[in-house]
Amino acid sequence: MTELSKTARAGCLNVSKVACDHCHLEFDETVMIEDGAQRFCCKGCQGVYHLLQDDGLGSFYEKLGDAKLAPPTQQFESSENFDTPAFFERFVTLGDEGFCEVSLIIEGIHCAACVWLNEKALHRLEGVIEADINFTTNKARIVWSDESVKLSRIIDTIRAIGYDAFPYDPSLQEQHANRERKDYYLRMAVAGFSLMNMMSISFAQYHGYFSGIDGDIVTILNVGEWVLATPVLLYSGWVFFRGAYYGLRNQVVNMDLLVATGAVTTYFYSIYITVFKLGEAYFDSVTMIIAFVLFGKFLEVLSRKSAADTLDIITKYVPSEVMVVEGDQMRSIKVSEVRVGDVVALRVGEKAALDGEVLEGEGSMDESSLTGESNPIYKKAGDTIISGSVSIDAALHYRVSRDFAHSTLSHLMSLLENAMRHKPRIEEMANRISERFSSTILALALLTFAAWYFWPHDFDTALMVGVSVIIIACPCALALATPVATLVGLGLGAKRGILFKAAAQLETLSLIDVVVFDKTGSLTHGRPEVVAQWMADEIHAQWIYALVSRSKHPISNGVARALASYDAHLRLEGFAEIAARGVRAQAGEHRLIGGNALWMAEHGISVEPLERSAFYVARDGEMVARFELEDRLKEDAVAAVAYFHRAGIDVQMLTGDHEASARRIAQNVGIKHFAYEQKPSDKEAVIAALQGEGKKVMMVGDGINDILALSRADIGISMGQGSDIAIEVSDVVLLHDSLTSLIEAHQIAKTTYRLIRQNLGLSLVYNAITIPLAMAGYIIPLVAAASMSLSSILVVLNSMRIRYSWRV
Amino acid sequence: MDSWVIALMLGASIFLGGLALIAFLWGIRSGQFDDEQKFLNQARLDGDEDLQDAVEQEQKKNKLKKKSYKPE
């Protein structure tokens, strides 16, 4: 038996696994580095362990307990670019006290001990003033004095202890959303506090109403309620005054106006009762109205998508700087300053920021997200580079042919803005109803007041009855009807990995007539998968896995996925990746190579040509395995298409790919209408044409070439593995990438919409019963308060039913 | 029972409750509840050492603040 297969067999039999003293992962004893009493799986772990011991941070391991870490990676880019002016301008903010502040995402945080270690290590650096790491989000905020310490030193410290840090732009959107949420928390805290305390006071009032109570005590209790109700009206209720004001300016009678009028008139009427000692005041109703409706509004805020800021999307998506080659020198400059004719260097793994023509170098580029072409494209001198494509293994220099403002990507972005503006907005049913409802109630209240006043009653009684109409009709249930139902729907979705960005989309999704699918990445996996394989000997599988799992090429990744069960943490020496050819490494005394036919031919191994993409593995010049790969249909694609057909929804497919593969996929899933070789703007045009026929369109896509269609469609759905920008512009994200989620999303939307209609019906029926009672003058404070809570509880309970029907 | 007792009790309880509310609002505003997991872990990992660390951090900040202060 050869040396190679001996070791591999040892791995299979699972002999003597040892845990590394830093990361606690288990490895074969043979591959461990011995260092005194400790054993480490790699140099990285060893380094970090000694660093922590030397710095007196050894108690990290006690805090860590049995938790496992990822071994530190050692391939870092230089941290110098963290000190460049361009970086500062983009990510660093200057505080009032002259300190710098940056937001970072720390990679590799697994447990509380990791947070502790990072904060501790950073605190020890001179010049670091605050280091605050959020365990839940892995985001860190670091404040430092630039005179004492440079940011690159801070980053190096984080990397030295085995973590990595990336800067991120705490974009205005996110900050804004957080601030708004916090603002609502504060307002709700005030309303909740007052409401709860007021309940106990009101209880005494109501009890007294039936069993007799001193006039003095009633007044004292009224004053107590007055004190509690005032901050609620002025602080918590502020949002309604603001909303009513903006509504009036746009000449709309909205729900805010009804709530504001109701609360204010009730408040002043209650003061009048208190001052002139006329009995029980309605302060509890004021608080209750504001608290309930505020809660409904808060639920909406929680589930609202902030208006997409296109500029922000561009800056996130495009590299802000490129390396320009000037003679022998390389200089990093901003993309907007690059001129036509400049030569730009593109490194492995980078995204091309500009369009151009390759001058030197070669390798594969991933254009799938731009063109829908699922296979990596091999580029050599003379070929064109499209901005937005990603280098898989290509390191090359290219001459810029269009400046940034005119690049393919920028052009797409400007089109995107246009597409977003044309997105149809289906007005929510609740809004339509509440507008009419509000004006009706206000008119009814006035009418009641007038009728009572002129049908000889004194002013007091007429006012009281008029106000009671507003109080009883105050739309607590109506305000809660939609948000509670949608929140339940959103929660159901979230548990299944379906992320609705805004509550209103549930309603729109339930009403769609046409589903348009993108092919690559949506109906198919969008990446090469092994469809046929041959191995001379199973023993080699572990070594092949070790070989391909080191590579970033999609073909290698496909093979690695197919062999994932053979993972044995084997270590290879001298691993190298050769652009557009394959990989090679040394396994003990044996030489392993893996790659395409060209790579085999260069090693003197002849292979027969195959129709599909192939990956060959040879050991010491002898072929040991062959894999055939192609972009496969998702397992649930056929079922999803059939589901939409059954639901009476038209299904279409648009792809940028060529006819043959489009036809093959369409036939396999059973789609009759499909179009191929579609440019991004063509896809948008198809959607627009469908909408022109009065149809509501749902688009399912994942690439940059889908963004126009996604943002134009009534509902844009993107896959969680899709490009960031597609996720950004879409309305719903399917985190699990599966089309079963898509079916579930549609079902959840339909159920939720039915629930909303039921809730609205419930609250309208309730109002139809109570408003005549109020107009007839039968409403006392107790009835007002009780009926308000009762209707709200009904709506909430009804919404909870959905959870049972979905068996959560 | 005289009704002023009720008034006093009501006043006192609203006042005390109000203080608690203000403390809570301050807690929300200063971001003490932003990271619920860390919030819990801090109680678990708390110790003299961390207290010392916090104090040193504060001193360092003040020192740097003084240094960067430039008189006109």
Q: Report pLDDT digits (tens) over A293-321.
A: 888 888 777 665 444 444 455 555 667 77
Per the prediction, chain A carries an average pLDDT of 80
- Whether A271 maps to a domain, the answer reads no
Least confident span in A203-212, A798-807, B14-23 = A798-807
Q: Would you say A678 and A686 are in contact if contact means Cβ atoms under 8 Å apart?
A: yes
Residue A186: pLDDT band with limits 50, 70, 90? very high
What CATH number is attached to the domain comprising A319? Answer: 2.70.150.10
* A469 pLDDT above the threshold of 90: no
A518 counts as catalytic: yes
Q: How many domains does chain A have?
A: 5
Residue A521: closest CA among A655, A388, A419: A655
Q: From A614, A633, A652, give the residue that closes a domain.
A: A633
CATH number at residue A593: 3.40.1110.10
Cβ partners under 8 Å of residue A546, min gap 6? A568, A570, A571, A572, A585, A587
Residue A463 lies in a domain: no
pLDDT score of A46 more than 70: yes
Chain A residues with a Cβ under 8 Å from any Cβ in chain B = 59, 63, 97-99, 112-113, 115-116, 120, 123, 126-127, 129-130, 133-137, 145, 147-148, 182, 185-186, 189-190, 193, 197, 201, 214, 216-217, 220-221, 223-224, 227-228
What span, in angstroms and rounded, lies between the C-alpha atoms of B33 and A507? 33
* A414 and A333 belong to one structural domain: yes
Question: What's the angle, vertex CA A283, arms to CA A278 and CA A286, rounded to 5?
Answer: 135
State how far the Cα of A725 lies from the Cα of A369, in Å rounded to an integer.
10
pLDDT in tens, A491-529: 788 788 888 777 777 888 888 899 999 888 888 887 788
Residue A132 phi/psi, 5-degree rounding, is: -125, 115
Tokens standing for residue A245: 């004001």
Question: Is A156 or A12 the better-scoring residue by pLDDT?
Answer: A156
Residue A544's H or E segment, with its range, is helix A541-549
Q: A64 by DSSP, 3-state: which?
A: helix
- Amino acid A583: pLDDT: 87
Measured between alpha carbons, how far is residue A475 from residues A250, A267, A268, A271 in Å?
Answer: 21, 17, 19, 23
The CA distance from A264 to A258, in Å, is: 10
Domain boundaries, chain B: 1-34, 35-72
How many other CB atoms are there within 10 angstroms of residue A52's CB atom? 21
The answer on A152 and A26 residing in a single domain is no
Q: Show which of A421, A453, A479 is a domain's final residue.
A: A421
On whether residue A285 sits in a domain, the answer given is no
Output the pLDDT for position A645: 92
First and final C-alpha spacing in chain A: 55
pLDDT (mean) for A91-98: 77
Closest in A133, A189, A227 to B28, CB measured: A189
3-state class (DSSP) for residue A610: coil
- pLDDT in the model for residue A432: 75
Give the number of A-B residue pairs with CB atoms closer than 8 Å. Answer: 82
Whether A371 maps to a domain, the answer reads yes
Whether residue B72 is predicted with pLDDT greater than 50 in this model: the reply is no
Q: Are A766 and A477 in contact (CB under 8 A)?
A: yes
Q: Which of A366, A518, A702, A714 is catalytic?
A: A518
Q: What range does the domain containing A673 cover?
A: 497-524+634-748
User: What are the b/e assignments for A421-447, b being 16+ CB within 10 Å?
Assistant: eebeeeebbbeebbbebbeebbebbee
- Look at residue A22 in the predicted model and tell me its pLDDT: 80
Q: Which of A514, A433, A487 is nearest to A748 (CA)?
A: A487
Please tell me whether residues A159 and A92 are part of one structural domain: yes
**Listed residues A121, A138, A170: the one ending a domain:** A170
Q: What letters, b where the CB count within 10 A reaches 16 and e where it falls short, cover A613-650?
A: bbbbbbbeeebbbbbbbbbbbbeebeebbebbeeeebb
CA distances to A76, A195, A598, A747 from A395, rounded to whole Å, are 17, 65, 19, 47
Residue A530 tokens read as: 């092994």
Task: Output the pLDDT for position A562.
Answer: 85
Residue A481 has a pLDDT of: 79
Spatial CB neighbours of A637, under 8 Å, sequence gap ≥ 6: A523, A524, A668, A669, A739
Look at residue A351 and tell me if it is in a domain. Answer: yes
CA distances from A176 to A170, A180, A182, A301, A501 (A): 10, 6, 10, 12, 16
- What is the chain B residue with the closest CA to A231? B18
Which whole number is the average pLDDT over A120-137?
A: 80
For residue B19, pLDDT beyond 90: yes
Q: What is the pLDDT of residue A3?
A: 44
What is the 3 state secondary structure string of A274-304? HHCCCCCCCHHHHHHHHHHHHHHHHHHHHCC
Mean pLDDT of A634-662: 88
End-to-end CA distance of chain B: 68
In terms of domains, do A332 and A407 share one? Answer: yes
From A116, A135, A148, residue closest to B64, measured CB to CB: A148
Residue A378 within any structural domain of the chain: yes
Residue of higher predicted confidence among A595 and A784: A595
Digit-coded pLDDT (tens) for B42-56? 777 677 777 787 788
Q: Would you state the structure tokens that stand for residue A108, as one six-digit string?
A: 């590799």
